[in-house]
A and B are shown apart, each in its own frame.
Chain A
Amino acid sequence: MTDVESVRGELVEFLERELPAQLGGPPPPTGDYWGGRNPELPHPLSRRYCEVMAARGLTAPTWPKEYGGGGLTKDQARVFTAELRRLGLPVPLVGFGISMIGPTLLQFGTEDQKREHLPKIVRGEIRWAQGYSEPNAGSDLASLAASARFDGDQLILDGQKIWTSYADKADWMFGLFRTDTGGKKQEGITFLLLDMAQPGVEVRPIKLISGASPFCETFFTDARAHTRDIIAGAGNGWTVAKALLGHERTMIGDLFGAGAGAHAPTKGASGNPLAELARAYLGDRDGRIADPILRDRVVQISMEERCFALTTQRSVDTLKAGHKPGPESSIFKIYGTELNQRRNELTISLLGPQCLGWEGEGFEPRELVQTRDWLRSRGNSIEGGTSEVQLNIIAKHVLGLPD
């Protein structure tokens, strides 16, 4: 534990003294920074903040130092996260580079591939998109048809991807392309990386029921990729794809952990944002939420949040104790997302008719945001593998039920 505590000293020294000096101003209080060639800045100093942290490897704390990471152990990285939270500092860089393709390259990439791509991810220079689903390959992902034909040391790409998150803002894509149509459908899939800034790649955002457009359609017409950017060899993409989906499930499960209600009002007497929202909209009788039925629903969701938080903690504690990840981790994606949906539905119930605003007068900003959040949450059990697919995975791989 001494190495953990010694790291804390160094990190605190850096975060409290060096960081403000190098930033030349107070650090950005909140806002996700995704990086990229033309980054969006949630705060004027977001980019600089990312660069200063990246110089210490702290945008990817557990990655090896030779690829620009922080070289920290998981325990040490937890200290870093705790110190960030204590100081009210945001995570310096988010995105699919850090959460998905980076870990996948560390697992499957060649030395050249790691040296080429990981440092750029760490520094937030390249923003990544995920090219997996197609109009006719959703839950049945292995039936994908977008093709890649070899042409010397290049590949020629044709076809369409869909649900490519933030593809309109991304610089590079990791994607699945069919290089062979014979044999089993899982065979002949190749995992490759490509630069999206080229004439053969066209991106169109998709408007969702919430009004937002986090997803896109991406069209390939004689687009080009390099054979050096094939990961784990041609035809071996399905194995890489499944491993990456594991990283994605973990990320989504983390995202919807307990207390993820981003737009909850400030905590009140109970320290429970849902309960305080209920008190604000329904009133209070003798210290209790006045409506007994909605109060019971608040308790139910609060209890589910606690159950989920305890289960994620149990999973972390199991790993920390040196055991293999337990089967309980298979439930995080489905339970986390469905809990988020139930939380949003309850919040809508608490707002009552005030939940019906779309824009304009008569509705508070936080009510309008909540309505959009509720609509957005309907996608949670679809994106990243539907709940039905998650149940199939649990039934097959954890419970051992027959095909």
Chain B
Amino acid sequence: MQLVLTEDQTLLARTAHDFITASPPIARLRKLRDTRDDRGYALDRFTRMAELGWTSIPFSEQDGGLGMGFAEVVLVTEAMGRGLAPEPYVPSIVLAGRAVALGGSAAQKASWLGPAMAGDKILALAHTRRRARFDLTCVPVRAAQQGGGFRLTGQATQVWGGHLADAYVVAARTAGQDGDRDGLTLFLVPAQAPGLASERQHRVDSLNAAQLTFEDVELREADVLGGVGQGHALLTRVVDEATVALAGEMLGGMAEAFDRTLGYLRERRQFGVAIGSFQALKHRAARLYIELELSRSTVMAAARALDAQRADAAQLVSLAKAKLSEAYCLVANEAVQLHGGIGMTDEHDIGFFLKRARACEMTFGDAAYHRDRFATLGGY
């Protein structure tokens, strides 16, 4: 495992960074929010990301992808994090797309994976229900077997990128109960399936989410993704992969919030001098910088561990998510404080990072969840 970028990776990082920051990215998110834009992101920008090949990164050449890995995915998400880009890269590509790639039949891949990579179809993963926090065995939908098929009922919440998605990967319980790893089944469900209703949810971070209600949605055996009752391993794997992708986004977000804060410390003058000359503030900035460097190491390591399928990959994923959850929230809190009065206002952009930091923390497990998982995986 080499914790250094190759030349190709450096180039990809630079291209992604330039693409995201070419026009003022936070102003774009602000406009989408304030105009209550129907879609909540820019479709043409997402298809442009597809044309650049980024949506094909984590898929095998056999599946029509580029055969690259998460070491590359995190470079794209880091750039997106710097600009708080709302395009559904993680939900459609890394979460649901990877679930289809890993568990889908040839027919399912043909219908959904290619179009998802092209940006023509949007996928999302429905695996969370209200108050279940982060337990992947507490799924939102129950699937009753009947005849040769299944009947789904239940309600999924905060389905990331689920608003205006074309199909959903749905985590359902076909047997057993909360806490059981066996008895979970993933289904690939078109958005138009009768009995399925999607309602847009408005979140604090202005990113897309949807609440999905399943009322006797009838599915066939062919709609199952992977094996019946075998969904937990697949769900855990794609959530781990998406967690690393999200950690990359968080790294970009905290780096950007930090850079903006440094800029403010240099510019803002009080008592006749730049406030960045005050030692109390210098030391706080230096402590944040330490967190930033440590965070970067964990993201690089977790991504490479997944790519190499190392035995400690899951532990490194939890290390990265625990670290980034705490560090991004810390940096965002400090960024607002160090901006002073203007930092409290909606007019200033820094508050967007505070909101996104918290949303990221609460996605795929917070620091406490991942510390517990890290220890459990470590045997203590």
Contact B294 A394, beta carbon cutoff 8 Å: no
Task: Say if the beta carbon of A255 comes within 8 Å of chain B.
Answer: no
Stretch in A83-91, A94-102, A206-214, A302-310 touching the partner: A302-310
- Which chain B residues lie closer than 8 Å to A272 at the CB level? 378-380
CB under 8 Å from chain A, chain B span 285-344: 285-287, 289-290, 293-298, 300-301, 316, 319, 322-323
- Which chain B residues lie closer than 8 Å to A395 at the CB level? 282-283, 285-286
Task: Say if the beta carbon of B262 comes within 8 Å of chain A.
Answer: yes
Stretch in A156-164, A291-299, A361-369 touching the partner: A291-299
Task: Say if the beta carbon of B374 comes within 8 Å of chain A.
Answer: yes
Contact A391 B282, beta carbon cutoff 8 Å: yes
Contacts across chains A and B counted by CB atoms under 8 Å: 130
Task: Tell me the smallest distance from the CB of A268 to a CB of chain B, in Å.
Answer: 9
Instruction: Please name 9 pairs of A and B residues whose Cβ atoms are closer than 8 Å in the assembled complex, sorted by A.
Output: A296-B368, A303-B323, A306-B319, A307-B298, A308-B294, A310-B301, A311-B293, A335-B290, A394-B289
Give Cα distance in the complex from A392 to B278, angstroms.
11
Contact A295 B380, beta carbon cutoff 8 Å: yes
Which residue of chain A has its CB nearest to the CB of B3? A314
Q: Which size class do B's interface residues fall under?
A: 35 or more
Task: Say if the beta carbon of A275 comes within 8 Å of chain B.
Answer: yes
Task: Say if the beta carbon of A10 comes within 8 Å of chain B.
Answer: no
- Which chain B residues lie closer than 8 Å to A323 at the CB level? 4
- Beyond A296-B371, A307-B323, A331-B290, whether A313 also contacts B3 by CB under 8 A is yes
- B residues contacting A by CB (< 8 A) are 2-4, 262, 265-266, 273-274, 276-277, 279, 282-283, 285-287, 289-290, 293-298, 300-301, 316, 319, 322-323, 368, 371-372, 374-376, 378-380
Interface of A is mostly: helix
- Beyond A289-B380, A395-B283, A398-B289, whether A307 also contacts B294 by CB under 8 A is yes
- Which chain A residues lie closer than 8 Å to B276 at the CB level? 401-402
Task: Say if the beta carbon of A317 comes within 8 Å of chain B.
Answer: yes
Q: Please pick, from A317, A328, A388, A403, the residue contacting B2 in the complex, using a CB distance under 8 A.
A: A317
Task: Say if the beta carbon of A287 comes within 8 Å of chain B.
Answer: yes
Task: Tell me the smallest distance from the CB of B82 to a CB of chain A, in Å.
Answer: 18
Q: Please pick, from B301, B374, B379, the residue contacting A303 in the complex, using a CB distance under 8 A.
A: B374
Which residue of chain B has its CB nearest to the CB of A313? B3
Which residue of chain A has its CB nearest to the CB of B368? A296
Q: Please pick, from A317, A320, A331, the residue contacting B289 in the complex, using a CB distance under 8 A.
A: A331
Contact A401 B376, beta carbon cutoff 8 Å: no
Which residue of chain B has its CB nearest to the CB of A396? B282
Q: Please pick, from A288, A320, A331, the residue contacting B293 in the complex, using a CB distance under 8 A.
A: A331
- Which chain B residues lie closer than 8 Å to A295 at the CB level? 375, 380
